[in-house]
Amino acid sequence: MPITKAPQAFPRTEYLRRLTAVKSEMAQRDVDALVVADSANITYLTGYTARSGTDPKGLVISIREDEPTIILRKMDVPAALHQTFLERRTVIGYPENLVANPEKDGYDALIDFLFDAGLAHHGVGLDMSALSVPTAEKFKTRLSKAKIVDCTGVVAWIRTVKSDLEIAYMKEAAAIADAGVMRAAEVIRPGVQESDAIAEIVATLARGANGKVGTWIATPYLCSSPRTGTSHITWTEDILHPASQINLEIAGVRHGYTAPICRTYSIGKPSDRLRRIHEAQLAGLEAGISTIRPGITGGDVAAAIDRALDKHGVRKESRCGYAIGIDWREMTASFSEGDVTVLKPNMTFHLHLGNWMIEEDFGYVISETIRVTDFGTEVLTKAPRKLFELC
Amino acid sequence: MPITKAPQAFPRTEYLRRLTAVKSEMAQRDVDALVVADSANITYLTGYTARSGTDPKGLVISIREDEPTIILRKMDVPAALHQTFLERRTVIGYPENLVANPEKDGYDALIDFLFDAGLAHHGVGLDMSALSVPTAEKFKTRLSKAKIVDCTGVVAWIRTVKSDLEIAYMKEAAAIADAGVMRAAEVIRPGVQESDAIAEIVATLARGANGKVGTWIATPYLCSSPRTGTSHITWTEDILHPASQINLEIAGVRHGYTAPICRTYSIGKPSDRLRRIHEAQLAGLEAGISTIRPGITGGDVAAAIDRALDKHGVRKESRCGYAIGIDWREMTASFSEGDVTVLKPNMTFHLHLGNWMIEEDFGYVISETIRVTDFGTEVLTKAPRKLFELC
């Protein structure tokens, strides 16, 4: 039987609004067809949240058509029909003999489609940052009559400003992240293996909060003494002890929308060193929250935070945050010196006061998911903004 | 204080053995320096399992040096010092102002290192499939005096044959996957929300099995009626009911090594349609297991499975398996028509008899993690090879 449509994450009008914004950028670049290969961009424009490793898939947006066409592995067609707003005629499966085939792959099917649709002889936009070298070469060789236009970042920059519907999911995701932080405070104690603590935390991230289930497990990062100076590592088999410090970075996810949060936990009374860095980074975080408003730049936010940290004699080398949305990090705005992105209402950020380069074996994390409002900042994550002291 | 080394996943001699194999390939290609940018390849050659999104990082292997040099974000240096076998002088952090900087990024720091190390004027190997177009352009422009050699797949193909030490981790990972399958059988029942079932399953994957903790959560795929024909989607908020069929694909992970398994569950008596497809796919799986041995090709395996399925009147369009190891899927051998990879002892595969294209709203999954032995096949996953009938 034909597969049914799942309840849609967004109404069709929301996707058409997004597509209209993309087409406006295409028109400015004299592009008749835009090829979108980045998974998060495809989610944004269709609602497709399945992830199938590195199999080629792509969305073709024609300047003349209302709906885009998705080209993906034939076995992924039912998922695309089920999850997306797309009509059946705009979901095209390529045959399975193009998978792991060194001669010809799914992008050949996509290029065939461009020819069939009469889109192979004019401006074709490609997000070069999402394409490997051999794939880009294939496009250039086969589309020799087209004008290839580098459209790197076009969709990503449109994604930076969220609609109210997207903000609603960011809030639901933030509540899930909060639940994970509070569950961590319950399960972190001396004698517990890091992996057992993470088991409880990820279970919470899947169960969700407030009747809204987690729809994905973003990889949680947990490091405890003596490796709190490390970043981007996962948990180990170590057993927490009465003086352990634990740095946790997790995220809730709703329909791709990802809200991260960081908190630091101390088993027993925190050391003076830990308490001092907490106070400094908390001051930096709050300086960021009170500074952020429409019209200022990412660089301005970083400068305000740096001033607050400076008063505490602390320096943070890494940036203080970055744009977030689908699949955690957006490759756009960044809260660091020189960032010229002008903040607008409904941009969302991971405002991140993690500091890993204090000493090689000592770091600290605190962060919030925030939204730029019409006049200032709304903090979407609501877990207590403190250094958790556990016994 | 300087950070200490973590207990190493492998002895230094194991990494040097792998590097020697890589250098042998480099010599054949007249390459003095190989730049490795793929995360799984970096894990293979160093033990680094942290994952930091899309920040540039790279390993430079010099044909003249015992140890490679890793170049990554300065904030990731402590993690690299902690996790890898590398000496301090071969872990180089690039400044944080190269992050999210459109003018200059971490690959510039890597290219600077090539110049400093006298490696910028001879053969430089790049894995083009791991590099985006702008990154590859940067290498070509800045290394104008070097001979750039496409080394796509060089490290990936070396990875296909595992050492006994790697096989030991694959077995531990397989035991974790098995534990997830058995936990699913306990928690799947009518009235349970899919997300709550997944919560218990991912918690099991983190806790691990036999005293070996899970070191990563590979995204679990779960789909239940009426979407068993979909692939690569995650769970939903739906509540399982007395006639639900549930397809589950999960993996255990140990130090990057990933052992997947699929099983199908039926709440209540399976339908005739489900029972028949189970019997056919089980026959296909067992034909694969009894066929696999050194010296035959991936295409031979696919043909044997197709013959077994054909006896049951079933056709499977998608391939019957693929090479696995670090980070789940290796982009090398594939069990499909025409695959000429000759099987060797200690290659590992996900032997996959999932079938999604029976009807659009009906699919079925069963799979095992297997190893090619000197004479045949060892099945590393041990969960009951059956259609789970639950009440």
Per-residue pLDDT tens over the stretch B248-297: 999 999 999 999 999 999 999 999 999 999 999 999 999 999 999 999 99
Q: pLDDT, tens digit, for every residue of B329-343?
A: 999 999 999 999 999
Q: Do A231 and B78 touch (CB under 8 A)?
A: yes
3.40.350.10, 3.40.50.720, 2.40.110.10, 3.60.10.10: CATH of B12-159: 3.40.350.10
Residues of B in contact with A136 (CB under 8 A): 133
pTM score over 0.80 = yes
What is each CA distance from B245 to A49, B250, B263, B275, B388, in whole angstroms? 22, 16, 11, 11, 10
Average per-residue pLDDT in chain B?
96
Q: pLDDT, tens digit, for every residue of B168-192?
A: 999 999 999 999 999 999 999 999 9
Q: Give me the residues of B, 71-90, that contact A with CB < 8 A.
A: 73-79, 81-83
Interface test with A, best of B75, B97, B222, B235 (most A CBs within 10 A): B75
- On whether any CB of chain B is under 8 Å from the CB of A382, the answer is no
Interface test with B, best of A132, A148, A253, A305 (most B CBs within 10 A): A132
Residues of B in contact with A134 (CB under 8 A): 128-129, 152
CB A142 within 8 A of CB A165: no
**Mean local confidence (pLDDT), B299-306:** 98
Q: Give me the residues of B, 250-309, that contact A with CB < 8 A.
A: none
Alpha carbons A234 and A248: distance in angstroms, whole number: 10
The predicted structure's pLDDT at residue B391: 87
Q: Are strands A355-359 and A33-36 parallel, antiparallel or unpaired?
A: unpaired
Q: Which among B295, B350, B344 is positioned nearest to B318, based on CA atoms?
A: B350
Task: Tell me the β-bridge partners of A129.
Answer: none
The predicted structure's pLDDT at residue A357: 78
As a whole number of angstroms, the longest Cα–Cα distance in chain A is: 69
- Nearest-CA residue of chain B relative to A332? B100
- On whether any CB of chain A is under 8 Å from the CB of B195, the answer is yes
Q: Give me the residues of A, 153-182, that contact B with CB < 8 A.
A: none
Q: Do A128 and B134 touch (CB under 8 A)?
A: yes
- On whether any CB of chain A is under 8 Å from the CB of B341, the answer is no
Q: pLDDT, tens digit, for every residue of A2-13?
A: 999 999 999 999
**Mean local confidence (pLDDT), B219-228:** 96
- Residue in B49, B199, B227 closest to A82 by CB: B227
- Contacts (Cβ under 8 Å, ≥6 apart) of B63: B23, B26, B27, B31, B32, B33
What is each CA distance from A214 to A130, A207, A257, A349, B211, in whole angstroms? 27, 6, 10, 20, 28
For B382, counting Cβ atoms within 10 Å of its Cβ (0-12 exposed, 13-18 middle, 19+ buried), the class is middle
Q: Give me the residues of B, 91-120, that contact A with CB < 8 A.
A: 95-97, 99-101
Prediction ipTM score: 0.97
A203 Cα to chain B: minimum distance (Å): 4
Lowest-pLDDT range of A91-105, A138-152, A161-175, A375-389: A91-105
Q: Is the pLDDT of residue A53 over 80?
A: no
Q: Which among B267, B183, B192, B254 is positioned nearest to B225, based on CA atoms?
A: B267
CB B127 within 8 A of CB B38: yes
Residues of B in contact with A339 (CB under 8 A): 100
- On whether any CB of chain A is under 8 Å from the CB of B192, the answer is no
Lowest-pLDDT range of A196-205, A289-298, B51-60, B74-83: B51-60
Q: Which among A128, A129, A158, A160 is positioned nearest to A23, based on CA atoms?
A: A158
The pLDDT confidence band at residue B106, using thresholds 50, 70 and 90, is very high
Question: In percent, how much of chain A has pLDDT > 90?
Answer: 94
Alpha carbons B303 and B156: distance in angstroms, whole number: 25
May I ask the CATH architecture of the domain B164-390? Answer: Alpha-Beta Complex (3.90)
- Residue in A3, A53, A232 closest to B329 by CB: A53
Task: Tell me the β-bridge partners of A328.
Answer: A325
The predicted structure's pLDDT at residue A102: 83
Q: Do A318 and B207 touch (CB under 8 A)?
A: no
CB B158 within 8 A of CB B25: yes
Residues in chain A: 391
Q: Is the pLDDT of residue B102 over 90?
A: no
The predicted structure's pLDDT at residue B101: 86
Please give the interface size between A and B, counted as residue pairs whose CB atoms are below 8 Å apart: 256
- On whether any CB of chain A is under 8 Å from the CB of B361, the answer is yes
The pLDDT confidence band at residue B126, using thresholds 50, 70 and 90, is very high
The predicted structure's pLDDT at residue B216: 97
Q: pLDDT, tens digit, for every residue of A69-81?
A: 999 999 999 999 9
- Nearest-CA residue of chain A relative to B226? A3
- On whether any CB of chain A is under 8 Å from the CB of B227, the answer is yes
The pLDDT confidence band at residue A391, using thresholds 50, 70 and 90, is confident
**Mean local confidence (pLDDT), A178-192:** 98
- Nearest-CA residue of chain B relative to A153? B102
- Contacts (Cβ under 8 Å, ≥6 apart) of B118: none
Q: Are strands B58-62 and B33-36 parallel, antiparallel or unpaired?
A: antiparallel
Domain boundary assignment for chain A: 12-159, 164-390
A62 Cα to chain B: minimum distance (Å): 23
The predicted structure's pLDDT at residue A386: 98
Mark A142-180 as b/e (b = at least 16 C-beta within 10 Å).
Answer: bbeebebbebbbbbbbbbbbbeeebbebbbbbbbbbbbb
B177 Cα to chain A: minimum distance (Å): 15
- Residue in B77, B195, B231 closest to A79 by CB: B231
**Mean local confidence (pLDDT), B68-77:** 96
Q: pLDDT, tens digit, for every residue of A102-119?
A: 889 999 999 999 999 999
Q: Do A360 and B81 touch (CB under 8 A)?
A: yes
The predicted structure's pLDDT at residue B358: 85
